[in-house]
Amino acid sequence: MTSDKIPVIVITGFLGSGKTTLLNRLLADPIETAVIINEFGDIPVDPALLGRQELPLTTLAGGCLCCQIKGALAPTLRNLWMAWRQAPKPPFRRMLIETSGVASPEPILDTLLRDKWLSSRYNLAEIVTTLAIPSALAQLDRFAEAKAQVAWADTLLLTHADLADTAQRTALTARLDALAPATPRFENLAAYLNASKNPPALRRLPGPAGPPRHGFSSLSLQLSKPMSQPQLLSLLRELLTGWPSDLLRIKGVVRLTDEACPMVIQAAGRHLYPPTALAGKVADDVGGRLVFIASADPAPLAEHIQRLFGDSIDKNALRVHIDSQAP
């Protein structure tokens, strides 16, 4: 059975730290790969951002793999393995799991390592944690999940070096030296991809801790009609300014009146990225969709969003998801 085991790479890291970017880069390798993407928001966005679409892809949305939808991981892995066994030509030789940005990885390890059926068929090869240099230190100070992602990592991948200054680099290095002194660290994606890595031989089983306690919420919406780019960006900037520490992430795929292609919207760590075209793809909803992830009670944020967007929001598709284990 050992030679049949499918290697699993878990990609974790805080909101907006570069997990999907890494996933896309790994998918550029000519290795047949199955992908499981976990999104905290109710309306998934990441699958639309994948450069490769013709792969076994499962999206588990509306919570974290470490708590609300932990139970979904084992059956998903089982079903994929059965399909793999029954296919005339195995459709994949590697499994990549992207966790949500607010997930603690240990319950995922627990599923992969303790479930006898799964652990005899899948080999947990690596947990790679992405950390955006400009925002990682504040996230490590504030969120237990960010610390857990570092603590369980086999590899730390630093990202957003181009947006970081020397002070941010030095402070993060000192923090990681204290938190995870022995964990290999890569300064950028290219260095990570170039490194020849051996999967860790020995792996500790997580302790029997209960599900993690989060305090996150998400708000997912569909736009009922396309907006103009300046109009949308101005609304998003107003939200980022109005909620400087509670609004952790915005992402989405939207239709804009002044663009022919659907456009990808990204904001993380208060930074709003310029929208990028999702060339060759057709948005499956009229105006597109946006997901907001916050660390606070989402009601005032939802009210603010509704007020700002007015009738551009499809009210029937507005979903607020509050972490049920919030303290």
Ligand X SMILES: Nc1nc2c(ncn2[C@@H]2O[C@H](COP(=O)(O)OP(=O)(O)OP(=O)(O)O)[C@@H](O)[C@H]2O)c(=O)[nH]1
Residues of this chain that interact with ligand X (CB under 6 A) are: 13, 15-21, 46, 101, 130, 159-160, 162-163, 249, 251, 266, 268, 273
Residue closer to ligand X (CB basis): 265 or 305: 265
Helix axis angle, 298-309 to 229-242, nearest 10°: 150
Minimum distance of ligand X from residue 132's CB (angstroms): 7
DSSP characters over 143-211:
-HHHHHHHHT-SEEEEE-GGG--HHHHHHHHHHHHHH-TTS-EESSHHHHHHS--PPPS--PPPP---P
**How far apart, in Å, are the Cα atoms of 150 and each of 19, 47, 160, 176?**
14, 25, 17, 8
Residue 11 or 118: the one with the smaller Cβ distance to ligand X is 11
Residue 290 DSSP class? E
The neighbour count for residue 244, using CB atoms within 10 Å, is 8
Write down the least CB distance from residue 221 to ligand X, Å: 16
Nearest alpha-carbon partner for 292 in 221, 227, 242: 221
- Closer Cβ to ligand X, 113 or 233, answer by number: 233
Give the residue nearest to ligand X (CB).
101
Residue type, position 75, single letter: P
Structure tokens at 290: 């946006």
Tell me which residue has tokens 């627990």. 110
Give the shortest CB-248-to-ligand X separation in angstroms: 9
CB of 226 to ligand X, least distance (A): 21
Q: What is the smallest separation between the CB atom of 45 and ligand X, expressed in angstroms?
A: 8
User: Residue 163: what are its φ and ψ, rounded to 5°?
Assistant: -100, 5
Query: At its nearest, how many Å lie between ligand X and the CB of residue 292?
Result: 11
CB 197 to ligand X: min, Å? 20
Closer CB to ligand X, residue 113 or residue 320?
320
Cα 135 to Cα 158: distance, rounded to the nearest angstrom: 11
Q: Which is nearer to ligand X, 17 or 220 (CB)?
A: 17
Query: Considering beta carbons, is residue 76 or 266 the nearer one to ligand X?
Result: 266
Residue placing its CB nearer to ligand X in the complex, 173 or 224: 173
